[in-house]
Amino acid sequence: MSSAIEIADVSKRFRLFREKPTSLKARLLTSRSRAEDFWALRDVSVDVRQGSSLGLIGHNGSGKTTLLKIVAGILRPTSGLVRQRGRLAALLELGAGFHPELTGKENVYLNASFLGLSRKETDAAYDAIVDFAEIEDFMENQVKFYSSGMLVRLGFAVAVHVDPEILLIDEVLAVGDEAFQAKCLDRIRRFQRDGRTIVLVTHALDVVRDICDRAVMLHHGRVHAFGAPDDVVREMRYVLLGAVDASFVPEEGTREAEVEAVELIRANGSGDGPVLRDDPLTILVDVRTNAPVGDLDVDFEILDGATNHPVLDARTSRAGTLIERFDGKKRVRFRIASFPYNAGKYWVTIGLSSRETGHLYHVQTQRYLFEVVDVPRVQERVDVPVEVDVEDL
Amino acid sequence: MAATVDVIERTSEPPRLRVGSRLRLVYGYREILLNLVRKELKVKYTASVLGAVWSLLNPVVFLAVFTFVVKVTGNSFPWYAVYLLSGLLAWNFFSVSLTTGARSVIDNANLVKKVYFPHEVLPLSSIGVALVDFALQTAVLVLFLVLSGYGFHLRELPLYPLAFATLVVFTLAMTFWLAALNVRYRDVQHLLNIGLLVWFWFTPIVYAGFVVEQELGKHPVFGVNPWNVFVANPLASIIFGFQRALYAIVQPAGQSKPVLPDVSLAWLAGVLALVLVGSLLFLLYTWRTFFDLSGDFAEEL
C-alpha cells in the first residue's frame, strides 16, 4: 500500500501585522520589522496510507486547519513538501461556494464544479444529492432563505457525491441534527469500505475513535502524538485538560443514579495540584439519583496514563459498605492510605452500578486526571555499611 | 475531470508557470468558470425587472448624450452613432472587465480561502460576464447597422476579428495583473477608476481620431510628433481597428477632413498585429505575476 498523502517536514509561517497594510501608503510607511512571525506548523511529517482514515485533533489554534489547507492546496507551505496521489476533495466549510442569490439547484451545480464535477456528472448525481439532503421541496428556492441546517445538508450531500479518492473534512460533522449526522457518518464509513482515503479534522474525539484507524494530535503546530486513535485521544485529553472537562468524558448507563461531582483530596487537603508519591489520597464521589435506587454500588478505577492499565480499584460493596435504598444525594469517600505508584499521570474512572445485577447506572470513563510527582526527599545522614578489602599488586 | 495529474507536489516554491499544463488545468476547471459566469449574470439581473436590458441602456444613453453634445459643439459628422458605438462597445468591454476583474479575487475571498481551484477562473469569469454584455450590445449594433441601411463594408470587415482578438488579449493581460496586485494593494481599484477615466478621453472614441492626428502633428515636442506617443496607447489602435471595421469610411463625402486616421488598411492591420503580439507577451508576464502571487491569495485576504 502506498501513501495517498505524504506530508514531509511541513512548516508554515504566518506574518502577523498589527495592522495589515493593504494600501501602498501603508506598505511604504510600515517597516517590515513590525510584522511578527507566527509558526502555525513546525516540521510536521505525516504519512497517510491509501485507504486509511486519519483523524487530526488538537486544541483551537494548534494548526489542524492550516495543515488541511496546505494539503488541499489552498495555502502554500513555508517549507517542506506535500505529495498527493489521486483526486482530492476538501470540505473545509460547508457551503463554501454557495451563493445566496442562487437557488438550491443552481448552487448544487456551482458547488459541484468547485469539487471537480462536470455538468454532466452533476446531472447524473443530482437526484441522489437531493435525496441525500432531503430538501427536495426547497431546491427551487434561493439559498439565502435556507436555514443553516439546510445549508449543511446540501453542502454535505454535494461533497459526498463527488467521488474523490481522498476526502478532507474539517469539522463539518459537528453541525446538523443527530439523524443527519448519523447519515453522514454512515456515508463516511461507506467511503472507507470503498478503500478511499479520509482525513478528518474534528473536536469530537469519539468520532475519531469511532471512525479513524490512525490519529495525529497537533500541539502548537507540532506533531505531539501519532498512532492509534485511542492512544492519541488519551494524550489529547492530557494536554487539553488541567482538570477534566466533563463534556469530553465518555459516558454510558441508564442514569437512575448519576455521578454529580468527583474530587480528589490530596494529603494537604487541597483539591488540586500534584499528588506526592506515597501520600494518602481521598476520592470523593457525589451521587445524585433520578429515581429511588435500592442497590447502588459505587466503584472507582485508577489507570496508568501512560499504558492505560488499571493500577488500583475499589468498590463500596467489596469494602463492606452497602448503600441502602435512597432517593437524593450521597457523598462517597474512598480513602487510599498511600498512593505508591510511580510519578506520572493517572486517570480515574467512576462507575455506578447495581449490586445485584451489575446493571450500569452511570459510568464516566477517565473522569478525573491527576499527576503524581516524586517526593523531593531531604538528604539525611544514614548508617550504611561499608566493606573494605586490600590486595597486593 | 479536474486534477487529472496523478501525483501533485506542493512546496514552498511557487512552481514555474508552464503555460501548456496550466492551460489544461484551467480548462479542466472550466465548469467553475461557466458556473461563475452564469451565477454573475443571474445575480446581476435576477432581481431587476428589465434584466439584460440594463446592459443595453448604457450605450443608448451614451449615444443620446454625445450625439447632442457633438451637434451643439458643431463637431458632428455623418453617422456619428455608428462611429461612437463601434468604439464605445469595445471600450465598455475593456473597462468593465478591468473594474470587475480587479475586484474578482477579493470579492470571492470566501472561495479562495475555502476551496482549491486555479484562481485564474476568477478574473476570467469577470471577462466572461463582460463578454456576454459585449455580445448583447454588439447584436443591437448589428441590428442597427442593418435596419438603418448603413450596412457592412466587406473590405474593412475582416479587420474586426483581428481587433477583437487584440482587445481580448490585452484585456486579459490587464485584468490578470490588476486582480493580482489588488489583493495586496487595495489602492489599485481606486487608482484604476481614475486611470480609466483619463484613458477613456485619451482614446478617440467620442471624438474623431483624425483631428487628434492633425492637431498633434502641428506641435512636435523635442522633434517627436506627439501623435506617435498617442497611438502608443494600445487601446487607441484597437479602437481604430473597430472603427475602421464597422464605420469603415475614412473621409465621409462632404466632410473637409477625414474622421478616421488616414492610413491604409494593411498598415492598420500591421499595427494591430504588432499590438496583438505585444499584448500576448504582456499577458505572459502578467499571467506569471498572477500565478506567482496566487499561491498567497488565501493568506493575504
CATH architecture classification, A3-18+36-240? 3-Layer(aba) Sandwich (3.40)
Q: Is the ipTM of this complex over 0.85?
A: no
Distance of CA B131 to the CA centre of its chain: 9
Q: A87, A118 in Cβ contact below 8 A?
A: no
pLDDT of B97 over the 90 cut: yes
The per-residue pLDDT for A2 is 81
Report the distance separating Cα A369 and Cα A348, nearest Å: 6
Least confident of A296-310, B40-54, B171-185, B208-222: B40-54
Facing residues of A14 across strands? A38
Local structure of B281: helix, strand or coil:
helix
Interface contact flag, A23 B185, Cβ < 8 Å: yes
Average pLDDT over chain B, rounded to whole?
87
Phi, psi of A53 (to 5 degrees): -120, 120
**Which residue carries 516524586 as its cell?**
A374
Angle (CA) A262 A263 A266, round 5°:
155
Please give the pLDDT value at position B2.
Answer: 42
Helix (H) or strand (E) holding B40: helix B30-46
A201: enclosing H helix or E strand: strand A197-201
User: Is the separation of the CB atoms in A251 and A362 below 8 Å?
Assistant: yes
Which chain A residue is nearest to residue B7, measuring alpha carbons?
A85
The string of pLDDT tens digits covering residues B234-288 is: 999 999 999 999 998 888 877 778 888 888 899 999 999 999 999 999 999 999 9
Region of A97 please: left (phi>0), alpha (psi -120 to 50) or beta. left
Pair A46, A226: CB distance under 8 Å: yes
Per the DSSP assignment, residues forming a β-bridge with A330 are A287
What pLDDT score was predicted for residue B3? Answer: 42
Which is nearest to A201 in space by CA: A82, A79, A71? A71
Closest by Cβ to A116, choosing from B1, B12, B14: B1
Nearest to B4 by CA among B18, B33, B24, B30: B24
Look at A88 and B117 and tell me if their CB atoms are within 8 Å: no
Positive or negative, the CA dihedral B62, B66, B68, B69 is: positive
Q: What integer is the mean pLDDT of B159-182?
A: 95
Reported pTM: 0.73
Domain ranges of chain A: 3-18+36-240, 253-373
| Cβ contact B8–A14 (<8 Å) | no
**Euclidean distance between CA atoms A113 and A265, whole angstroms:** 59
Q: State the CB neighbour count (10 A cutoff) for residue A124.
A: 12
Q: Which of A77, A106, A115 sits opposite B10 (nearest CB)?
A: A77
Give B133→chain A minimum CA distance, Å: 20
The 10 Å Cβ neighbour count of residue A278 is 14
Identify the pLDDT of residue A3: 86
The correct CATH number of A253-373 out of 3.30.300.30, 3.30.470.30, 3.20.20.150, 2.70.50.60 is 2.70.50.60
How many Cα neighbours within 13 Å face the side chain of A299?
Answer: 20
Distance CA B21, CA B80 (A): 46
Residues (pLDDT < 70) of chain A are 1, 17-35, 94-95, 172-176, 238, 240-250, 306, 376-382
Q: What pLDDT, on the 0 to 100 scale, is given for residue B142?
A: 92
A72/B116 Cβ within 8 A? yes
How far apart, in Å, are the Cα atoms of B12 and each of A63, A122, B113, B187, B292?
Answer: 17, 34, 18, 28, 11
Pinpoint the alpha helices (H) of A35-143.
Answer: 64-72, 104-114, 119-133
Of residues A69, A78, A84, nearest to B298 (C-beta)? A69
The β-bridge partners of A336 are A281
Q: Do B3 and A87 touch (CB under 8 A)?
A: yes
Q: What mean pLDDT, rounded, does chain A reach?
A: 83
Query: What confidence score (pLDDT) does residue B27 get?
Result: 86
Query: Which candidate in B6, B10, B186, B293 is best for mutational testing of the A interface (most A CBs within 10 A)?
Result: B10
Q: Is B249 in a helix, a strand, or coil?
A: coil
For the beta sheet containing A3-16, the strands, ordered from the edge strand earlier in sequence to the opposite edge, are A36-49, A3-16, A79-85, B7-11
Give the residue from chain B lying closest to A83, CA to CA. Answer: B9
Residue B169 has pLDDT above 80, yes or no: yes
When CB atoms are compared, the residue of B43, B47, B114 closest to A93 is B114
**pLDDT for the residue numbered A26:** 66
Residue B263 corresponds to which cell in the numbers above?
492610413
Smallest Cα distance from A152 to chain B, Å: 15
What pLDDT was estimated at residue A188? 86
B8 and A25: CB-CB below 8 Å? no
A23 and B36 within 8 Å at the Cβ level: the answer is: no
